[in-house]
Amino acid sequence: MEEVLSQFGLSPGTYTHHRFGSGHINNTFLVTSNFSDEKFILQKINTYVFKDPEIISENIEKASDFLKINHPDYTFIHSIKTVDDKPYALIDGAYWRLSPFIKSSQTVNIASNLLQAYEAASAFGRLTKNLHGLPLKGLRESIPGFHNLELRFMQFQEALQNGNKERIAAEQELTSFYLGQEHWVQYYNDILKDEKYPKRLVHHDTKINNVLLNKDTGKALAVCDLDTLMPGIVISDLGDMIRTYTSVESEESVDFENVKVRLDYIKALFEGFLSQTGPLLTDSEKKSLFFAGPFLIYMQGLRFLTDYFNDDVYYPVKYTEHNLNRARNQAVLLEDYLKKENEIKRLIEEALR
Ligand code: GN1
Ligand code: MG
């Protein structure tokens, strides 16, 4: 750690670090000065997931340059350069990134009131709005095919072929449910074929704890966790908010009775997101807003179940059925979302007005 910090010009012995946040993928630390109120966020990039971490830095830098020119007042969490002017420190094959800690900020793990949902959704909407017009040429995906639903479905089929036989045999009902929702893949492929459906630079991980809220006013200050900031489609961000803000019970919960879409949260998050992005969305994008829910909930459920059948190689688990329960949880959430289709479509129409 001393070596990592010194590569960023922080004198060893002057700073204390401890683990921070609750992400599945990277290791995150809060680095605090022992002598002032200076703080940083330090992340060790998971190179099993991000095979080419330089792509992350490229994307963040392109976004940062564009925003500095076009939206100079926007708070964007750039990476701090090393003393050798690199966007990351590379030590024994491990990539480390440092960024400033935003003053007076805090994060929450679940959206527990409508203001939080609205604020977080406007924060991600503002990012999309401010990045509108950024040329995507030369930008690459930090995880190839990350939100490609067809690919995720194929990976699921592959796991059914080659995965843990006992686990697969015991979960036929859940497997049938996931196979039975395959039509969403076609829906996704149609979007890719639609020339009026733009690619944008989007965040791809819009969980509420990736929004920094002002700890006194609750207003959103900035968004963080920019590893998956890469070309994609607008419903990736919207869908992950639907998936993670609208149920009282999180994806970790086994209290399936209470895994439910709360319509007032749907309303708040659509209003927040569209308050920023509404004027720039194309008609094709607007037509796809309801699909944002199934797109992300279904994809995440497939990813959890795939990982369960593959003996938990991707998501860290705390007990044997952990990924299985996550996949069950997402199936319940998806069913509830679909049950409320008419009400949700009405709320979307209203928020678009
Ligand atoms: C992972 O690491 P974290 O918690 O930010 C995953 C997301 C999933 C999420 C599910 C790179 O995000 O796609 O939605 O877990 N990120 C990656 O909790 O796979
Ligand atoms: Mg993340």
Burial label, 336 (beta-carbon count in 10 A; 0-12, 13-18, 19+): middle
CA R_g for the chain: 20
Residue 23 CA: nearest ligand 1 atom is 4
Q: Which residues of the chain have pLDDT under 50?
A: none
Q: Which residue has the tokens 């922080």?
A: 10
Q: What is the pLDDT of residue 12?
A: 79
- Both 226 and 340 in one domain: the answer is yes
**Does some domain include residue 106?**
no
**Does some domain include residue 318?**
yes
Per the rule left: phi > 0, alpha: psi between -120 and 50, beta: everything else, 93 is: left
| Pair 133, 198: CB distance under 8 Å | no
How many domains does the chain contain in total?
2
- Both 193 and 221 in one domain: the answer is yes
| CA-CA-CA-CA torsion sign (118, 116, 127, 130) | positive
| Pair 145, 64: CB distance under 8 Å | no
Q: Is the CB of 205 under 6 A from ligand 1?
A: yes
**Does some domain include residue 109?**
no
**Does some domain include residue 107?**
no
Alpha carbons 262 and 274: distance in angstroms, whole number: 18
Domain endpoint, select from 101, 133, 157: 101
Q: What is the pLDDT of residue 299?
A: 98
- Both 60 and 182 in one domain: the answer is no
- Both 157 and 242 in one domain: the answer is yes
- Both 197 and 60 in one domain: the answer is no
Q: 230 forms bridges with which residues in the sheet? A: 202
β-strand pairing of 27-33 with 39-44: antiparallel
CATH number of the domain that residue 31 is part of: 3.30.200.20
| Pair 46, 25: CB distance under 8 Å | yes
Domain endpoint, select from 57, 74, 101: 101
- Both 142 and 44 in one domain: the answer is no
Q: What is the pLDDT of residue 232?
A: 98
Residue 134 makes CB contacts below 8 A (sequence gap 6+) with: 62, 63, 66, 201
- Both 244 and 170 in one domain: the answer is yes
Q: What is the pLDDT of residue 296?
A: 98
- Both 262 and 204 in one domain: the answer is yes
Q: 118 forms bridges with which residues in the sheet? A: none
β-strand pairing of 211-214 with 200-202: unpaired
Domain endpoint, select from 71, 101, 131: 101
- Both 121 and 253 in one domain: the answer is yes
- Both 202 and 224 in one domain: the answer is yes
| Pair 298, 181: CB distance under 8 Å | yes
Q: Mutate which of 22, 25, 312 to test ligand 1's pocket (most atoms within 8 Å of Cβ)?
A: 25
- Both 196 and 153 in one domain: the answer is yes
Q: What are the structure tokens assigned to 79, written together?
A: 């990476």
| Pair 74, 126: CB distance under 8 Å | yes
Q: How far is CA 173 from CA 68, 178, 260, 331, 350, in A?
A: 51, 9, 20, 11, 37
Strand order across the 89-91 sheet: 15-19, 27-33, 39-44, 94-100, 89-91
Q: Mutate which of 19, 22, 24 to test ligand 1's pocket (most atoms within 8 Å of Cβ)?
A: 24
**Does some domain include residue 48?**
yes
CATH number of the domain that residue 273 is part of: 3.90.1200.10
**Does some domain include residue 279?**
yes
Q: Is the CB of 300 under 6 A from ligand 1?
A: yes
**Does some domain include residue 108?**
no
pLDDT tens-digit readout, 166-220: 999 999 999 999 999 999 999 999 999 999 999 999 999 999 999 999 999 999 9
- Both 222 and 280 in one domain: the answer is yes
Full residue range of the structural domain in which residue 328 is found: 114-352
* Residues by chain with Cβ below 5 Å of ion ligand 2: 205, 225
